[in-house]
Structure 1
């Protein structure tokens, strides 16, 4: 019998049928092996489990009934992006999820802690950190956000369709072009690349299409352009949005006709080239402002591929850190086998506006200015110090402030309810020894 009620409506009805606290507790207990804290509107910890309490040791103080420390949750910070914190010198990813009612009223928060995909003690991995599963034809990633990108690359490589790669500067657009070439039937032929923003219009025209002897002053010989030199292969046009308007019509004709005429020449030449273009601009916006031809945009944008920025795939940061560390170690100038906890935290929390290229340059800077086998925080570029000074401190977490008698009684009572009277997990969730828990329970007549 087919469903007539929308899935969300079914879920809402199911929730309404089971609105008692035992139902909520059973849901929370399904995640007893996870690290999380449940907060109310006043940032008071309502629920914690033994696993989380053990992680937050050697705090050895109450969790339930206390105000969550600002290192874990700061109500004045509206940014909900995952961040990295240090717990017992181990980096953890902290995610904050707002809990909303049907009317979008915020009634609390769920804080989820997951161990960062790192190596013990921030030391260099004993084996190659980039396994086969993490290396997609030269693109290193373990992020789920890159899997759709890899799939499109594989699909596009089976055809000769023109591809437009869109991504921020330093995100690896040329690596995507090389991966398409490597996976295609043209992989035995040349892969050539040019940055359209680096040359004047005249030089770029000559470099792309070639010129004949005497075509202009200084043209003392015939010059074969990139389109001809990449015959049967792949040509990568980086920063295509910067292509001068006067050359856009010529490029459009070459794509449509598959022929070109060198500068100053009279005979057309047939070409067979797979074209991959890239930009960090929106070509649609460039068309709107009269800086790019709409017909050329549609010719280039047959298969668009969007690359997530590094800050959108933070699980790749440490993978890339060790990859570039290994590359720099091969130069024998300095061998780094460990990154200090403070330096690692700064690197993991950095916003990386320059993406992978910036990360590569930061590590090279640290290699040059420092000494020894450990990369220290002091060896990072100046912008890291400025950024850290403007952020709230994130040291190892410590709870502060003594509980009132009533708060302590409530905390113990809640813990006993959560764990159905079981002393060991209840005591551990509050950061107490079994003996202390018994004594305080008796004191409060619970």
Structure 2
């Protein structure tokens, strides 16, 4: 599979090189954004970002409240050239105000080249660093595995881009995306890489406004012991690993005003490989399931109600060193299932939601989450082995469109740990966040 992707990418680059290089600037767009957030948190912290965030028992111990400000500034340029060529670049500075960390770092958030109608009209090729999300972000959505800017709220980190080469084939109503992404390449050595390969098929149907998104991804870890994260395969492996995900998401409207989503995923491949004598090899066999229903009433204030169910399989027993590994690996996901707790493995959870617009341009949403473990766990620090109740969470989110370009927001999240957490590690956690942003 890897060789096929390399051949496809090489073919695209060769085609670009042999095409006439007569592109001229036709139009330049300059824009940007400023987002300022104020946080207040108590009794919990986060580690890393995106799919690599960590939530453990110790994070809900007694901790002093902390408040701080965060600012994200982006400036972007997009140049439309002749021969259907687009070049785009976004520079980003992200910082917590007056926290002592470096505040002058400007990073390349996006730097990409788009070649439309390359070789023939249905084909578009994109090369460079850019955000990319497959389906609902179950597997591919956040390409940053660590908190690169050292911000306090790593789960809100701005940079989520991948370095990717991919082609898009538009055969309306079918769209195919085939490509690869580089997640890590620490040194010139060939054994420290994390590479992702993907095939994504999107089919739009007129009946019930249905959209089916089916995809296959492969993540290759050259040296897992040196490069894997808490959401990847075993870091005690001594040989390269391949993690595959076969998944599909269906969005449709079974009834008028009723929107539904069904998603399924199956992970397989390698979890652990040890080539030394007496080493242990473990296969990966994990599953995921998502269900969401949202109904919009034709009433004053545009009320909506919803139900969401999230399942991610869990490892049978924490600390097991043999047999198949059955815990879902978060990999590079970008889903959001709660402002605070938001688990991405070993969860059997559901939420009730509601929203309305009491004023013009003001939306108010309420989510109530109930979290259960999919599998009981062995006793670890701060938890019990015979309980599945992970806790519950209430999230209140307000959004106000001040103008077409300026938005304001306010949210409150409150998480109450369940019986799974024992005394001293079961403190209620809270977050209050206010934000204002402008796009230009």
TM class by smaller structure: under 0.3
Normalised by the length of structure 2, the TM-score is: 0.23
Q: Which has the larger radius of gyration?
A: 1
